[in-house]
A and B are shown apart, each in its own frame.
Chain A
Amino acid sequence: MFFQIPSLKTALSVENFSFIYGQDKKQKPCVSNIDFQLREGETLILAGPSGSGKSTLSYAMNGIIPWRQKGLVKGDVKIYGKSFWDYSFSDLSKMVGLVKQNPIEQLVTFTVRDEIAFGLENLNCSKQEIEAKIEEISKLMGLNNILDRSVEQLSGGQKQLTILSSFLVMNPKILILDEPIAFLDQQSESLLLDRLKSLNKSKEFSLTLIIIEHRLSRVIDSADKLVILDETGKIALKGEVTDILHNHFDELKSCNVRVPWLIDIFDAYRKITKNEIVIENSMNFQKFFNLISKFDENNLKILQNIIENKEIQTKELQKYQELEKRIEINETYVKSLKSKKFNGNEQDFNDEISNENNIILETKDLSFSYPNSGVQALKGLSIKIQKGDFIGLIGPNGSGKTTLLYLLANLYKQTSGEIFYQNKRLDDTDPYNYAKKVGFIFQNPENMIFKSTIKDEILYAPRNFGIYKELREEYVKKLIDLVGNEDPLKNPYNLSWGQKRRLNLSSIFIYSPEIILLDEPFIGQDQKTIDSLIETLYIENKRGKTIIISSHDYHLLLKYTKRIIELSKDGTLQNYDTKSNYFIKHSNLGPITLLNEINNKLNEVGI
């Protein structure tokens, strides 16, 4: 069998690079002493918490630094052996493309064809040349049938592919994708990642890819190298992906990135059995099943234990033990939790849903159409939500998740049907009093910041609700602390993205709402913030709050929530079930599938 000799050309070399915004040398560098190389055709994953300088680094690679952004530079960034100082900004723009998170903010023209042509038009290419290139690239990216479609009519994935094509058509040497799947639903995400993989394989491009993403599980299977930055903007971990997965897996896990959980399980298995099994970075269910088909009964049992304990129980318990130390939770309550098996409290919950007294929110035949366009966002939705539930709301873009949350928060009025709050029609409830019962977290943290200090921001709702005087000073202080170690008089806009999100939580926890609704709260947040966010919600849920959280990140929801509401593309209810039932229905998901598979194998060997 013949193998292609990999290219030895170094496409990108970042050499001891540091950058300070502004002219003050004493200021802390945004990124410091970054050093790594990337060969032509390789794929690098760049990860790290928000504010660690990932975007700054991407600007240094495509010329915005040093040519458009003022600041102090140390070290060098070399593209094909030549320093970024020796290129003009336009040369670097041509060589290094940068696709950002939100496709809507990057589309500047009206049709797919115009958007793809945008760069080439700016480069003054001839019309014939542009048309030929559009045809070539649209075929490769699967956009050839929708070239004349308005960009507004595209799905999120198609929009992102259009942006990607508009860079590819300029024939860049390096392409940087800054969290390209953050705004995409499951379907669009798969579409984009599949195309990226095929692009990676296509040798005519010899494209070097840099993907900025903290959810490693999504992108790691096609990556060659990994660079992880820490909060101070330094490199926390770097190297070849296979080497890191084999030899530095624990370090990787400590870097606040989401590691692929299949690999996580195998890593634990390897440590227990000291078995030298080969873990591929493209580990999927099929490969997993192939691998365990060779396992004997003993090994299968070990794996079963790992999945049951490690993946589900131990982790949850460990989390509670940690939380116990930090936050006052009733001790007996924690003990009762520890004594319960994984599905224990969920099962109790399941029984209680029939108890009418426990229903906090109920919708009957709920429909909503947008008044101007007449587009029906929700159709005939009937659900009962019980007090203290933790619900994940999933569905593709446009399935009405946000609309449902707005309706439940009484921010929109339904077109038809009814909503009941504690068996009373919501329309008959005083909106002012109902607002006190509901806390709403919007997708963009900045959309819910109105005041110029952290303290005022937290006290915004109590002042509006007239409960300001009833608040204890320690309670306010505790919620200020939740934001981070910050001065209460600091302007909220100067906080980091993750801190802004925590401030949002503080500003609704202050009035202690019974129901907490969250609309895509994880977009643009790093893993650490997501973890702390979900932990905080977990505790609030244990304190009896009802939580409904909508997200594309259904892996996360499936892991933490108790129940799943799934809406379909046309705004109807597709599924409303407990998490474990949902797993069973969707047998391609989660640890339950693995357990089933292992149980089948054990049955086969007669256990």
Chain B
Amino acid sequence: MKDKNKMLDYKKYTFAYFPGNSLFHKLNPISKIIFLILLTIITFIIKSLLLLTLLLFIIILLTFFSGISLKNFLRKTRFIILILIFSVLLNIFFNAITSDQDTVLFYLFNLDFLPIRRLAVYYALRALLIVLTLYSSTFIFSNTTSAKDFVYSLMKLRIPYKYCFSFMVGIKYIPSIEQEAKTISLAQRARGFGLEKANSIKKAYRLISERLMSTLVSILRKGHTTSISMENRCFGLYKKRTNITEIKYKLLDIVFICFCIFWFVLIILYVFKILPIPQFPSLYQIYLNLF
């Protein structure tokens, strides 16, 4: 039973709560949601790659500031970095081949059919920076916010409590469903299936379909019991319900939100060139200056 009943294990799951006492842990989840929303808007508005890089750098610094170790961060980021590198290469080559209007920076390996074009590189790098920034900020949010606080803050945001509880029960079930799926795969192995690696598509399909069917049946049964148990305790009887757990706003939250809004406005003003501050040079200009 030791491994059956645990909460989402932060060492195992990328977006699981990491207990701690940092500034981000102390903040109200709603403040963090506001931070996330403002950050998302900003990342899509910023055109300058250098500014985006600076923003990403700040977010990664905040990650460490929120008590998450570099090792932990890198371990959970390496998979997405691999996918991103792959997507950057695809973006560069496909955009470069399809858009022949754009300036060619250089030809890869001096081959005429492998042009590297200016906008292709720009979009590929911008997509990379946006995804990494949003990933890292979501990482901070999920690693510093317990599921309980998150669900109760959703209720505070007036999202109907039935949806919030569905989410909560879902989160609570992840380890138990995972355990069940694992047991089912052991049951397959115990009777001789899956001992050798799936070496044909048919075998792989069988392996997954059998496992899925059995897991699904088990989830449905558990779900049925849970719903009966909730309904028996009058869940969903009234439109509103009392919540004894209350997510409170502290001074820290107000200061944090003001700080976020201040920087949000400042960056907007800067990006739209309202503030008389010199703009970041574009990477293209830097590239041209090199030659």
Who on chain B is nearest to A375 by CB?
A: B2
Say yes or no for A508: interface residue by CB 8 A criterion: yes
Say yes or no for B225: interface residue by CB 8 A criterion: yes
CB of A446 within 8 A of CB of B210, answer no
Q: Which residues of A contact B244 (CB under 8 A)?
A: 113-114, 117, 121, 127, 130-131
Q: Known: A170-B233, A444-B218. Contact between A100 and B225, CB under 8 A? A: yes
Q: Which of A378-415 contact B (CB under 8 A)?
A: 397-398, 400, 402, 406, 409, 411
CB of B165 within 8 A of CB of A90, answer no
Say yes or no for B250: interface residue by CB 8 A criterion: no
Q: Which of B126-166 contact A (CB under 8 A)?
A: 146-148, 165
One of B4, B213, B237 near A450 (C-beta < 8 A)? B213
One of B1, B168, B190 near A409 (C-beta < 8 A)? B190
CB of A104 within 8 A of CB of B5, answer yes
Q: List the one stretch of A230-238, A460-468, A476-484 in contact with chain B.
A: A460-468
Closest Cβ of chain A to B149, distance in Å, is 10
Q: Which residues of B contact A90 (CB under 8 A)?
A: 234, 237
Query: Could you give, for residues 157-170 of chain A, a 1 whenever the CB lies within 8 Å of some chain B CB and a 0 otherwise?
Result: 00000010011001
Say yes or no for B236: interface residue by CB 8 A criterion: yes
Q: Which residues of B contact A205 (CB under 8 A)?
A: none
Number of interface residues of A (CB under 8 A): 75
Q: Which residues of B contact A438 (CB under 8 A)?
A: 190
Closest Cβ of chain B to A372, distance in Å, is 5
Query: Could you give, for residues 413-455 of chain A, a 1 whenever the CB lies within 8 Å of some chain B CB and a 0 otherwise?
Result: 0000000000000000001100110111010101111110000
Who on chain B is nearest to A98 by CB?
A: B232
CB of B186 within 8 A of CB of A411, answer yes
Interchain CA distance A440-B193 in the complex, whole Å: 13
Interchain CA distance A461-B188 in the complex, whole Å: 9
Q: Which residues of B contact A98 (CB under 8 A)?
A: 228-229, 232
Say yes or no for A272: interface residue by CB 8 A criterion: no
Say yes or no for B197: interface residue by CB 8 A criterion: no
Interchain CA distance A236-B6 in the complex, whole Å: 43
Q: Known: A110-B148, A120-B242, A122-B241. Contact between A446 and B218, CB under 8 A? A: yes
CB of A432 within 8 A of CB of B2, answer no
CB of B231 within 8 A of CB of A68, answer yes
Q: Known: A97-B232, A104-B176, A163-B229. Contact between A397 and B218, CB under 8 A? A: no
Query: Could you give, for residues 290-321 of chain A, a 1 whenever the CB lies within 8 Å of some chain B CB and a 0 otherwise?
Result: 00000000000000000000000000000000
Number of interface residues of B (CB under 8 A): 57
Q: Known: A110-B148, A465-B192, A493-B217. Contact between A442 and B187, CB under 8 A? A: yes
Say yes or no for B22: interface residue by CB 8 A criterion: no
Interchain CA distance A105-B224 in the complex, whole Å: 9
Q: Known: A120-B242, A464-B193. Contact between A109 and B233, CB under 8 A? A: no
Interchain CA distance A117-B242 in the complex, whole Å: 9
Who on chain A is nearest to B169 by CB?
A: A108
Query: Could you give, for residues 205-247 of chain B, a 1 whenever the CB lies within 8 Å of some chain A CB and a 0 otherwise?
Result: 0000010011001100110011011111111111011111100
CB of A450 within 8 A of CB of B188, answer yes
CB of A448 within 8 A of CB of B148, answer no
Who on chain B is nearest to A126 by CB?
A: B242
Interchain CA distance A574-B20 in the complex, whole Å: 37
Closest Cβ of chain B to A175, distance in Å, is 11
Say yes or no for B273: interface residue by CB 8 A criterion: no
Q: Which of B115-133 contact A (CB under 8 A)?
A: none
CB of A450 within 8 A of CB of B180, answer no
Closest Cβ of chain B to A143, distance in Å, is 16
Query: Could you give, for residues 92-106 of chain A, a 1 whenever the CB lies within 8 Å of some chain B CB and a 0 otherwise?
Result: 011001101010111
CB of A464 within 8 A of CB of B191, answer yes
Closest Cβ of chain A to B252, distance in Å, is 22
Interchain CA distance A152-B146 in the complex, whole Å: 14
Say yes or no for A485: interface residue by CB 8 A criterion: no
Closest Cβ of chain A to B14, distance in Å, is 13
Say yes or no for A527: interface residue by CB 8 A criterion: no
CB of B2 within 8 A of CB of A377, answer yes
Q: Which residues of A contact B191 (CB under 8 A)?
A: 435, 440, 448, 460-461, 464, 507-508
Interchain CA distance A506-B180 in the complex, whole Å: 22
Query: Could you give, for residues 53-70 of chain A, a 1 whenever the CB lies within 8 Å of some chain B CB and a 0 otherwise?
Result: 000000000101000100
Say yes or no for A489: interface residue by CB 8 A criterion: no
Q: Which residues of A contact B214 (CB under 8 A)?
A: 446-450
Say yes or no for A573: interface residue by CB 8 A criterion: no
Q: Which of B47-68 contact A (CB under 8 A)?
A: none
CB of B187 within 8 A of CB of A448, answer yes
Say yes or no for A370: interface residue by CB 8 A criterion: yes
Who on chain A is nearest to B7 by CB?
A: A152
Q: Which residues of B contact A603 (CB under 8 A)?
A: none
Interchain CA distance A344-B33 in the complex, whole Å: 72
Say yes or no for A4: interface residue by CB 8 A criterion: no
Q: Which of B1-31 contact A (CB under 8 A)?
A: 1-7, 9, 11-12
Interchain CA distance A162-B6 in the complex, whole Å: 17
CB of A109 within 8 A of CB of B187, answer no
Say yes or no for A107: interface residue by CB 8 A criterion: yes
CB of B189 within 8 A of CB of A435, answer yes
Say yes or no for B103: interface residue by CB 8 A criterion: no
Say yes or no for A332: interface residue by CB 8 A criterion: no
CB of A106 within 8 A of CB of B225, answer yes
CB of B234 within 8 A of CB of A93, answer yes
Closest Cβ of chain B to A583, distance in Å, is 27
Q: Which residues of B contact A375 (CB under 8 A)?
A: 2-3
CB of A373 within 8 A of CB of B189, answer no
Q: Which residues of A contact B165 (CB under 8 A)?
A: 108
Q: Which residues of B contact A84 (CB under 8 A)?
A: none
Say yes or no for A156: interface residue by CB 8 A criterion: yes
Q: Known: A406-B186, A448-B187. Contact between A109 and B168, CB under 8 A? A: yes
CB of A105 within 8 A of CB of B222, answer yes
Q: Which residues of B contact A461 (CB under 8 A)?
A: 191-192
Q: Which residues of A contact B236 (CB under 8 A)?
A: 122
Say yes or no for A254: interface residue by CB 8 A criterion: no
Interchain CA distance A442-B187 in the complex, whole Å: 7
CB of B7 within 8 A of CB of A372, answer no
Say yes or no for B271: interface residue by CB 8 A criterion: no
Q: Which residues of B contact A508 (CB under 8 A)?
A: 191
Say yes or no for A278: interface residue by CB 8 A criterion: no
Interchain CA distance A93-B227 in the complex, whole Å: 13
Say yes or no for B196: interface residue by CB 8 A criterion: yes
Say yes or no for B72: interface residue by CB 8 A criterion: no
Interchain CA distance A100-B3 in the complex, whole Å: 22
CB of A447 within 8 A of CB of B233, answer no
CB of A106 within 8 A of CB of B226, answer yes
Q: Which residues of A contact B282 (CB under 8 A)?
A: none
Q: Which residues of A contact B176 (CB under 8 A)?
A: 104
Closest Cβ of chain A to B234, distance in Å, is 4
Say yes or no for B88: interface residue by CB 8 A criterion: no
Q: Known: A122-B241, A152-B7. Contact between A105 and B2, CB under 8 A? A: no
Say yes or no for A51: interface residue by CB 8 A criterion: no
Q: Known: A124-B240, A131-B244, A411-B186. Contact between A107 and B232, CB under 8 A? A: no
Q: Known: A446-B214, A448-B187. Contact between A107 and B225, CB under 8 A? A: no
CB of B187 within 8 A of CB of A122, answer no
Who on chain B is nearest to A134 by CB?
A: B244
Interchain CA distance A110-B214 in the complex, whole Å: 27
Say yes or no for B183: interface residue by CB 8 A criterion: yes
Q: Known: A108-B165, A464-B191, A464-B192. Contact between A442 and B233, CB under 8 A? A: no
**A119-B233, A370-B3, A464-B192 given. 11 additional CB < 8 A pairs?**
A100-B228, A104-B5, A108-B169, A108-B229, A122-B238, A126-B242, A170-B233, A409-B190, A440-B190, A447-B184, A460-B193
- 25 CB-based A-B contacts, threshold 8 Å: A62-B232, A93-B233, A93-B234, A102-B225, A104-B4, A107-B172, A108-B172, A108-B229, A110-B148, A110-B168, A121-B244, A127-B244, A152-B5, A152-B7, A170-B234, A372-B9, A373-B3, A373-B6, A377-B3, A406-B186, A411-B189, A435-B189, A435-B191, A442-B187, A447-B187
The 9 closest A-B pairs by CB, nearest first: A464-B192, A119-B233, A461-B191, A106-B229, A440-B190, A448-B187, A450-B210, A122-B234, A105-B225
